Structure 1
Amino acid sequence: MKSRRKFIQQSSALGLSHLLLPSFLSKASTKENTPSSKWADGSKLMVSISMQFESGGEPDNAESPFPQNLEKGYRDLPAKTWYEYGYKEGIPRMLDNWDRLGVKVTSHMVGTAVLKNPQLAREIVERGHEAAAHGMNWSSQYNLPYEQEKKFIKDGVDAIKNITGFNAIGYNANWLRRGENTLNILQELGFKYHIDDLSRDEPFVIKVNQQDFAVVPYTLRNNDILLIEGKNFSTDQFFNQVKAEFNQLYFESQFKRRMLSISFHDRIGGTPQMVKSTYDLIKYIQNHKGVSFKRKDEIASLALNDANTIRE
């Protein structure tokens, strides 16, 4: 019995050494292959928050939580009020919350929503947030000819510029579905980045017509329209999911630069329960060293001007 105990102890020690060695080497290798584990501003992990400004620009009978059983020829009036909540209550509440937390976000604005609620669009910019483009309306653009798609994007940009004075340099297509020509059009119109990409947990740089163009990845995992509306998550589930994502990325930020993306929509993320949960979540994140909150135009600028940024 004594010899068996000794055998188990020896076997355990050998097993642990076998398991620990690759982990150690892997971590060391990661550090060695990464020129810098911090961004140029000194942060290890950047938090990128989207606040989608879409309500007011939706078409009649747009998708909503109500059953899709309305007879043809009738307007979905209850659904209309669901969208109205976004600009009457949602964005104003979120704006106050961002001020309380001391963070700035990026608001992707639909052109027709901006024209319907110009004062609110101006307020977003006046309170220090980025205005980014989100098309002129909720139409698809991936299936448009080059010149029509260019006009669709430019009309949205012009609406933002004319109302807020902000020159949008970031773009988000409807449901991320850009077309084969979209990036060339964005570059031609003076954009610096787009977010219609889910492939990384950090910003990276691509070539568009042999010129650098930034990608600031978006998220479906930490997105209220998918989780709260689409999957009927509770606020506790949303909180815990994003918290788990942050905890893992924060661990990884010890040896590589990371970015956490979170997305809120005016009529969903601006509800009282979501704003309270968001406040608690952001306060939790802010208690960790090396974390910074940045607008997407700031993240794109960091990525474009950093020689260590991943380039594809």
Structure 2
Amino acid sequence: MHYDFVPIAHRQPLKWPNGKRLAVILTTNFEYWDPAREDPKPFYPGGPGIVGGELAGDVYDNPNWTWREYGQRVGVWRMFDVFDAEGVPSSCTMNAKMGIERKAVVDAAVERGWEIVAHNYVQTDLLTDFHKDPEKEREVIRETLRICEETTGKRPKGWLSSSLRSTPNTADLLAEEGMLYFTDLLNDDQPYLIHTKSGKPLVSVSYTSEVNDFTVFMRQGQTCDGGFAVFKEAFDWLYAESEHSGRFLNIGLHPHVIGQPFRIRALRDFIRYAKQFDDVWFATREEIATWYLETHQSHIPTA
């Protein structure tokens, strides 16, 4: 994987289609965790737990597992209600085990015509486990894509690694599998091209660990009003910057966090706020990546 270092001040203005100036990506993460595994090393939980302390990985951790399952049983359906009521789509990441163990959640997104982004095989395993074994990493990627396609009827066009723990080989392997975009690189507010060993281009459409319900609510301890304020602050600043060159705002959402009844209003109120702006584009990553592949030379010319 290689990408050029081109500071934002050195790029040409980015002009989104149809006169839009700020793209908003509302990312809902469909994530399944196994209750336990054979390895006694502590589970990598994919974010802070609701109950502190670590158990061995081969011991069932009831409060932390069932807290996450709340998102699948209740929280995500509350989110669907908000998205439906406000008439906006979500870009949904899905690990393969969600398609096996919690297919009803995935089916609900597919029925709505929403984007599905491949999100590893299971949340508790990381691609960095295979950082010295690219063939094993390729195997995990292929199996994930196979199950995603089998579950949804469509092969995903993009990838988000569990906990964003990818390897230097990941982008090259994704390009070889015909992927269109990669979301692990947290380094931009605009899309850009990733150069891969196969010569097949891959578009970076960054995820975020900052404008993210885990960070805002679980790590910072924000209230519902405080969470909305963070989302709005990011939107307002990027919207002002986008007067001259387009930006995107991604908000990372987890059903067991934002889907709680005392937090969901932050999402609803933000959507209602953003919808007031006619030149805001509620976009999918596939739409952004497809458009960018056709237009990138006018933004960041390549040799």
Structure 1 length-normalised TM: 0.84
Which residue in the other structure is 1:192 paired with? 180
Aligned residues: 281
Which residue in the other structure is 2:32 paired with? 55
Q: Which of the numbers 11, 20, 43 marks the counterpart of 1:43?
A: 20
Q: Which of the numbers 268, 275, 298 marks the counterpart of 1:308?
A: 298
- The reply to whether residue 159 of structure 1 matches residue 147 of structure 2 is yes
Query: Residues 270, 58 of structure 1: CA spacing in aligned structure 2 closer, same or farther, 3 A cutoff?
Result: farther
Give 1:302 deviation, angstroms: 1.6
In structure 1, what is the Cα distance between the partners aligned to 2:56 and 2:117? Answer: 36
Query: Residues 37, 192 of structure 1: CA spacing in aligned structure 2 closer, same or farther, 3 A cutoff?
Result: closer
Deviations 1:145-199 (A, max 9, x none): 1111011111111111111212111101122121121111101111100111111
- The reply to whether residue 181 of structure 1 matches residue 166 of structure 2 is no
- The reply to whether residue 117 of structure 1 matches residue 107 of structure 2 is no
Give 1:310 deviation, angstroms: 3.2
Query: Residues 304, 85 of structure 1: CA spacing in aligned structure 2 closer, same or farther, 3 A cutoff?
Result: same
Which residue in the other structure is 1:290 paired with? 279
Structure 1 counterpart SS, 2:117: strand
In structure 1, what is the Cα distance between the partners aligned to 2:89 and 2:56? Answer: 43
Q: Which of the numbers 262, 269, 281 marks the counterpart of 2:258?
A: 269
Give 1:141 deviation, angstroms: 0.9
Deviates more, 1:200-209 or 1:65-74: 65-74
Give 1:55 deviation, angstroms: 3.3
Structure 1 counterpart SS, 2:27: strand
Which residue in the other structure is 2:69 paired with? 84
Please tell me the residue identity of whatever aligns with 1:288.
F
Can you give the 5+ residue segments of structure 1 that lack an aligned partner in the other structure? 1-29
Q: Greater share of helix residues, 1 or 2?
A: 1
Please tell me the residue identity of whatever aligns with 2:105.
L
Structure 2 counterpart SS, 1:259: strand
Structure 2 length-normalised TM: 0.86
Deviates more, 1:35-44 or 1:142-151: 35-44
In structure 1, what is the Cα distance between the partners aligned to 2:246 and 2:152? Answer: 33
Q: Which of the numbers 247, 258, 280 marks the counterpart of 2:269?
A: 280
**In the alignment, is the contact (CA less than 8 A) between 2:115 and 2:284 conserved in 1?**
yes
In structure 2, what is the Cα distance between the partners aligned to 1:71 and 1:141? Answer: 21
Query: Residues 311, 170 of structure 1: CA spacing in aligned structure 2 closer, same or farther, 3 A cutoff?
Result: farther
Runs of 4+ in 1 over 6 A off after TM superposition: none
Give 1:311 deviation, angstroms: 5.8
**In the alignment, is the contact (CA less than 8 A) between 2:12 and 2:300 conserved in 1?**
no
Structure 1 counterpart SS, 2:156: coil
Which structure 2 residues correspond to residues 230-249 of structure 1 after superposition, within 5 A?
A: 230-249=219-238
Structure 2 counterpart SS, 1:266: coil
In structure 2, what is the Cα distance between the partners aligned to 1:268 and 1:95? Answer: 14
Structure 2 counterpart SS, 1:302: helix
In structure 2, what is the Cα distance between the partners aligned to 1:193 and 1:72? Answer: 33
Q: Which of the numbers 122, 128, 135 marks the counterpart of 1:142?
A: 128
In structure 1, what is the Cα distance between the partners aligned to 2:227 and 2:35? Answer: 25
Structure 1 counterpart SS, 2:166: coil
- The reply to whether residue 227 of structure 1 matches residue 216 of structure 2 is yes
Give 1:97 deviation, angstroms: 1.2
**In the alignment, is the contact (CA less than 8 A) between 1:48 and 1:261 conserved in 2?**
yes
Query: Residues 218, 58 of structure 1: CA spacing in aligned structure 2 closer, same or farther, 3 A cutoff?
Result: farther
**In the alignment, is the contact (CA less than 8 A) between 2:14 and 2:299 conserved in 1?**
no
CA-based RMSD: 2.1
Deviations 1:256-305 (A, max 9, x none): 11111101012112122322211111111111231110111111112111
Query: Residues 88, 251 of structure 1: CA spacing in aligned structure 2 closer, same or farther, 3 A cutoff?
Result: same
